[in-house]
Structure 1
Amino acid sequence: STVTVGDPNGNSQLGPVVSEIQFNKIQKLIQAGIDEGATLVSGGVGRPEGLDKGYYVKPTVFANVTNEMTIAKEEIFGPVLSILGYDTLEQAIEVGNDTEYGLAAYVQAEDLSKARDVAKKLRAGQVSINGGGGDMMAPFGGYKMSGNGREWGDFGFHEFLETKAILGYAPKPAAE
């Protein structure tokens, strides 16, 4: 609720989403979260107060989300956070992997060793630990339905290469 939404050329922290199509998709997903019984903590449908035009979305947080809900199943690509609870680390990993998508994940933990262990088990193309920011030298891309291929770093160049394998190149062993 304290995030300033508005013109990215001003002092705002969050600008508009990319298009009307994306704006409408996000609004439908926020409404689905409400309709399916998630607890709306902040935000909601519609534009932020004072922004009556443009594709601005209220930063929205839902609690008490389950993996059966649409907002847990879909990649929203908007300022919407769905909080899913867990009782054990194994359950957290299971919940995190129970999706068709796997673009990115985030692990927050006091014990860095445990955080690294959880990060290794998550099926996502990029996992940030304790606020680890972006790194243009690290590969970026998703798992599962979040797409194949990588951007950034050395792996990003592989998208532009034609790789060839030549088999049988070595001489055949001499007959005995």
Structure 2
Amino acid sequence: MKCPFCSYRDSRVVDSRAVDDGVSIRRRRECPDCGRRFTTYEKYEETPLMVSKKDGRRELFDAKKLLSGLIKAFEKRPISYEKIQEIAEHIERELRMRGEAEIRSEVIGEAVMNHLEKTDQIAYVRFASVYRQFADVNNFMQELQRIMKNNESIDRSDKE
């Protein structure tokens, strides 16, 4: 690795650590020529993940679109940006761990729904209303009743 200070071509590694849950490696390096230290980050190269859309189109998975959708769902909710990023990273990791080169958009949507339902029910309802494209108020009410029924069963199990 080239030294950023003096352009010497052969720095030596002083320390290495896995970061970002093992996704990246942080290396502390030292230049034997000028003696200065610097840090480099190495990230594993991932194979591209293709998304097959409902209309038959295919496009590259875009983590920014996932994060953007989550930010919209959590708008004005008491969830930190760091937590939203963590959820997005977790969803992407789940998708990549499937080991498939191509994934249906429905699988992504359901993964998002599962995480939102566990994290914040208002964000879940917001996302569900767009994702599921409720035909009318009755469909929307059915989903709300399902959530309320789940909450009641969780409350009962907590009290036992």
TM-score range, shorter chain: under 0.3
Instruction: Give the TM-score of the pair, scaled to structure 2.
Output: 0.27
Q: Which has the higher helix share?
A: 2
Normalising by structure 1, we get a TM-score of 0.25
- The structure where strand makes up a greater share of residues is 2
